[in-house]
Amino acid sequence: MNNDELILFALDASRGFGEAVSCKLGTPLSAHEERDFEDGEHKTRPLVNVRGRDIYVVQSLYGDATQTVNDKLIRLLFFLGALKDASAGRLTAVIPYLAYARKERKTKPREPVTTRYVAGLFEAVGTECVVTLDVHNLAAFQNAFRCRTEHLEANPLFVEHFAPLVREGDVAVISPDTGAIKRAEEFRRSLGAVLTRPVGAAFAEKYRSRGAVSGEALVGDVAGKAVIIIDDLISGGTTVARAAQACRERGATRVYAAVTHGVFADAANAVLGSSTVDQIVVTDTIPPLRIHDAALKSRLIQLSAAGLFAQAIRRLHTGGSIVDLLRS
């Protein structure tokens, strides 16, 4: 497809992120209308001709004071449906943070597999591709969707940020639970390649039952090292705080956390505000709306993922390689 056939939308709730992507991409956001009715219903429609065009719609699915996760999801679905009805050529949902990705399997009898249901909703309105960043379980995400999916990784952003910080001295990468082992290993290898020296690895024990987190063991040598805890999402902060405390007790000199999506539930202010983490690094897929603790704010750094999404959109539009993008 030609560059002039690409159309980029961002719904109002993700306007800021959409504008950042637009700037990096060099493509202006196209006009649309969002209208709310007195009874709580709403409509969203494009204000430009989309017939036969390559369409990309940006909407990050996190809750805030104005719209819930469900509000944002249904608005995105309705807008995608409206675009399809208006004869859009190819329809891509660009979702920096994908809601419901953590409920990808049954852990108790008769539980829902919500990730699969959400996938079915996107397919039902004619979505042909879903692009997102660092889902909780990549295999479950890829298997839930029948349409094309593209999974981006914050790994390059974190490597670029942390390489100068740990240039001198020993460093280790920590997986705070079994679910983050592969993610941590990929980051460890990438960081080691940039530093041109070995980077250590460690694993923190974690068990969760009925919302309570337990587990004290730490496997791996962290004494005298700067450590980086890697995870995909931080909500209440307990997982990161416990891993950080375990590293401190075993002699770590500095403790960093690199987490893609900063949900930061209200409890995170108390948990992480008093934690031993020197720096918490997240991307801007979710604004730090719920952070009010001054100590936590002072240690929080946000990295922009807009450039990564802009490059992905450009490659999808021109037939470029997403695999090469993640390796660059």
From the centroid of its chain, how far is CA 117?
A: 20
Distance CA 188, CA 172 (A): 8
Region of 242 on the Ramachandran plot (φ > 0 left; ψ -120 to 50 alpha; else beta): alpha
Distance CA 106, CA 290 (A): 30
Q: Going along 121-178, which residue ranges are E strands?
A: 129-133, 148-152, 171-175
Structure tokens that stand for 156 in this block: 């390059």
Task: Return the residue matching tokens 């997403």.
Answer: 322
16 Cβ contact partners less than 8 Å away, ≥ 6 residues apart: 287
CA angle 228, 234, 239 (to 5 degrees): 65
Distance CA 304, CA 308 (A): 8
Q: Which amino acid is at 10?
A: A
Distance CA 253, CA 182 (A): 24
Give just the sign of the alpha carbon dihedral 118, 54, 307, 65.
Answer: negative
Q: Active-site residue among 72, 206, 225, 297?
A: 206
Reply yes or no on whether 103 is catalytic.
Answer: no
Is the Cβ–Cβ distance between 212 and 242 less than 8 Å?
no
Structure tokens that stand for 91 in this block: 């329809």
Structure tokens that stand for 96 in this block: 């920096």
Q: Which residues are catalytic?
A: 206
